[in-house]
Amino acid sequence: MAALVTGGNRGIGLAIAREFQAAGEPVVITHRGSCPDELFGVACDVTDPAQVEEAFDEAEAELGPITTVVCNAGFTDDQLLLRMDETQFTRVLDTNLTGAYRVAKRGVRSMLRQHRGRLVFISSVVALRGEAGQANYAASKAGLIGMARSLARELGSRGITANVVAPGLISTDMTEGLSDARAQQIRDGIPLGRSGEPAEVAATVRWLASDEAGYITGAVVPVDGGAGMGY
Ligand code: NDP
C-alpha cells in the first residue's frame, strides 16, 4: 500500500511526500523534470492522460498498489475577467480540475481492487470565497469540492474516502511573486495573522489518509489560519 502525490517535487506536494516518508509510509511523487534525491519519483504531466497511466504503472511496479492519491498539482494564471482569454481559463481548469479527475480515475482502479482507498484533493480557500482576478483558478478549486463529494457518495461503500484540503496563504513559489503590499493585505484578513507553512498542510493531508480518519469523507478541511471562516 503506497501513496502517490502529484506535483510532489516542490512546495506543498513536497512537504506532503516528506510527511508520508517520515511516517515510514511508501510514497511516490510525480514531477515534470527532476525529483528530489531522497524521494522516488515518476514523470507525469497531469494534462496528458497517457502520462498519468504510465506514471501509475511505473509507481505500482515499484511499490505495489497505490491506495492513497493526493491530487496536489496546480497552478495560477490570474487575470481580470475581461482580459482573461479562453486559453487562460481552460488551461487552469485542465490542470487543476481535469488533471485531478484523470489522476483520481486511475487511482481508484487500484483502490477498488484493494477495497480501501484515500483520495485527497488540494483545493483552496478561494474555492468558496472567490477572489478578484482568479475566476479560472477559483472555478477549478470549487470544482474539486463537487468532484470529491460526488466520489465520496459513489465510492463510500467500497471503503474509499474522498476529502478536500483547502489551504489559505502558504509560503511556496506560488505565493512568492505577490507584492509585499498584497501579501500584507492578505495577512490582514487572516485571524492568525501569518502565512502558513507547507508542513502544516501536509500534516492534515497525512491524517486524512490515515486509518484514524476512516469515518471522514466528503469533508472540506481548511488549513488557512481562519481566513475562510464563514464560507
Ligand atoms: P508550487 O507552484 O510550489 O508547486 C506546484 C506544483 O504543481 C509543482 O510541483 C508543479 O510542477 C506542479 N504542476 C503544475 N502544473 C502541472 C501539470 N500540468 N502536471 C503536473 N504537475 C504540475 O505551488 P504550491 O506548492 O503552493 O501549490 C500546490 C497546490 O496547493 C496547488 O494545487 C495550489 O493551487 C494549492 N494551493 C496553494 C496555496 C498557496 O498559498 N501556496 C493556497 C491554496 C492552494 P513543476 O515543478 O513541474 O512546475
Ligand 1: residue of 172, 182, 201, 224 to mutate (most ligand atoms within 8 A of CB) is: 172
Mean pLDDT, rounded, of the chain = 97
Whether ligand 1 lies within 6 angstroms of the CB of 75 is answered as yes
What percent of the chain stands above pLDDT 70?
100
What's the CA-to-centroid distance between 6 and ligand 1, angstroms?
9
| pLDDT for position 195 | 96
Contact 92, 70 (CB under 8 A): no
Q: Residue 12 — pLDDT band, cuts 50, 70, 90? A: very high
What's the average model confidence in pLDDT over 73-82?
98
pLDDT of residue 119: 99
Whose C-alpha lies nearest to ligand 1, atom 22?
73
Q: How confident is the model at residue 215 (pLDDT cuts 50, 70, 90)?
A: very high
Q: What is the pTM of this model?
A: 0.98
Stretch 55-70: mean pLDDT: 98
19-28: b or e for each residue (b if 16 or more CB lie within 10 Å)? bbbeeebbbb
Cα 123 to Cα 128: distance, rounded to the nearest angstrom: 10
**Residue 152: what pLDDT?**
98
Lookup: cell for 112: 477498488
Q: Stretch 64-84: mean pLDDT, rounded?
A: 98
Residue 32 CB–ligand 1 contact under 6 Å:
yes
231 in active site: no
Domain map of the chain by residue range?
2-169+200-220
Classify 2-169+200-220 by CATH class: alpha beta
* Whole-number pLDDT of residue 31: 98
Taking Cα atoms as reference points, which of 17, 10, 52, 49 lies closest to residue 33? 10
Closest residue by CA, ligand 1 atom 44: 124
Q: Which H or E run contains 40? A: strand 40-43
Give residue 99 CA to ligand 1 midpoint distance, Å.
Answer: 12
Predicted confidence band of residue 204 (pLDDT cuts 50, 70, 90) = very high
Interval 17-27 mean pLDDT:
97
User: Vertex 144, ends 143 and 148: CA angle to 5°?
Assistant: 120
Reading the block at residue 180, the C-alpha cell is: 509585499
Ligand 1 proximity of 103 Cβ (cutoff 6 Å): no
What is the C-alpha to C-alpha distance for residues 58 and 38, in angstroms, rounded to an integer? Answer: 18
Residue from 75, 120, 121, 169 whose mutation best tests the ligand 1 pocket (most atoms within 8 A of CB): 75
Residue 90's alpha-carbon distances to 82, 98, 131, in angstroms, are 15, 10, 18
Ligand 1 atom index nearest CA of 9: 9
User: For the segment 111-134, what is each residue's pLDDT rounded down to a tens digit?
Assistant: 999 999 999 999 999 999 999 999
Indicate if ligand 1 lies below 6 Å from the C-beta of 105.
Answer: no
- Residue 197 DSSP symbol: P
CA of 157 to the centre of ligand 1 (A): 31
Q: What would the mean pLDDT of 15-37 be, rounded to a whole number?
A: 97
